[in-house]
Amino acid sequence: MTTDELLVECKKGLGMPLFGTNFDGPLTQKILTVKMYMLGAGVSGSTIDNDLATGTIVMGVIDIWSIEGGGTKFSPLFYDFVTHLAIRSQVV
């Protein structure tokens, strides 16, 4: 899924208007951050394009959308999904 498609999915998840562009920059930054986190955690490039990964990226963006200094953290379910995707990525 492209970053633009993920942007639409994140807007849906956050209940934002799909055609507004006011938050596209910050949302895109968070999408890329979450994707890089997942890749660093062992999720393969091919696995990151499936439906569970899309939902996980949206969840991660929602988790870090309203951060306050020093209070950033992902939800336990986000970590569970990333772990599942990383394990799935290792299947030969």
The pLDDT of 21-44, averaged and rounded, is 96
pTM score over 0.75 = yes
Tokens of 43: 């999720």
SS (H, E, C) the chain: CCHHHHHHHHHHHHCCCCCCCCCHHHHHHHHHHHHHHHHHCCCCCCHHHCHHHHHHHHHHHHHHHCCCCCCCCCCHHHHHHHHHHHHHHCCC
Q: List the one residue out of 75, 72, 44, 37 whose CA is nearest residue 59.
A: 75
pLDDT in tens, 6-15: 999 999 999 9
pLDDT in tens, 48-67: 988 899 999 999 999 999 87
